[in-house]
A and B are shown apart, each in its own frame.
Chain A
């Protein structure tokens, strides 16, 4: 089975500064990779996904992520954050022959003025 590790549980960052959220996974088969965002007391919203093709994936709200197969990583980045980016971010993995997602424990991003 695959597993997902989000290396940072809390990331404080100042407004307009860059942010990187780290995600590593383990799997013996090909995977699909996802980043979701969750605002307080809401469901999860898809930020971006990697299924195949270009390893640099651009998503909504100015986020992007890079799939690195050799390092089994899928780190999320944004060059300049806003107060509204304060939320919890989840990395998720599914196997290419499975219906299920495995989620990381989440990273809470707090953006300060």
Chain B
């Protein structure tokens, strides 16, 4: 069966520091991968999605970036965090080539102080 991992689970970082969140998927090949952010009291905002290694699409202009160095690994990064980057970050995967269900990881709670 497929599983999706995210780490760290929680993170507290100062403004201006760098960020690296990692997501890995097991049990499937060539998945679509997604990064979402959930700010307090708001719904989910799609940040990036990827349909293959090295293929990243950005949905929202911001100081975040994403990379997919391996088929089942998706990384969210920032060079300098802003206060507004605080939130709950969720990674998800789906079967490539379809618009079927997205399956979500457990999330990373990021607090920028």
Point out residues on A near B: beta carbons under 8 Å.
32, 34, 36, 41-46, 49, 51, 90, 94-101, 103-106
Of A43, A99, A105, A106, the residue contacting B106 (CB under 8 A) is A43
Q: Do the beta carbons of B99 and A46 come within 8 Å of each other?
A: no
Is B56 interfacial (CB-CB < 8 Å)?
A: no
Given the complex, which residues of A lie within 8 Å of B7, measured CB to CB? none
With A41-B107, A100-B59, A105-B43 known, 18 other A-B pairs at CB within 8 A are A32-B99, A32-B100, A36-B104, A42-B106, A43-B90, A43-B106, A44-B92, A45-B104, A46-B103, A51-B100, A90-B44, A95-B99, A96-B99, A98-B99, A100-B49, A101-B44, A101-B46, A105-B42
Of B51, B90, B104, B109, the residue contacting A99 (CB under 8 A) is B51
Interface residues of B in 54-113 (CB under 8 A from A): 59, 88, 90, 92, 94, 99-107, 109
User: Interface size on B (CB < 8 Å)?
Assistant: 24
* A49 in contact with B101 given A42-B107, A103-B43, A106-B43 (CB within 8 Å): yes
Q: Do the beta carbons of B99 and A44 come within 8 Å of each other?
A: no
Pairs across A and B, CB under 8 Å, 21 listed: A42-B106, A43-B6, A43-B90, A43-B106, A44-B90, A44-B104, A46-B103, A49-B101, A90-B43, A98-B99, A99-B32, A99-B99, A100-B34, A100-B49, A100-B59, A101-B44, A101-B102, A103-B43, A103-B44, A104-B43, A105-B43
Given the complex, which residues of A lie within 8 Å of B32, measured CB to CB? 99
Helix, strand, loop or mixed for chain B's interface?
Answer: strand
Given the complex, which residues of A lie within 8 Å of B44, measured CB to CB? 44, 90, 101, 103
- Bound-state Cα–Cα, A49 to B103, Å: 12
Given the complex, which residues of B lie within 8 Å of A41, measured CB to CB? 88, 107, 109
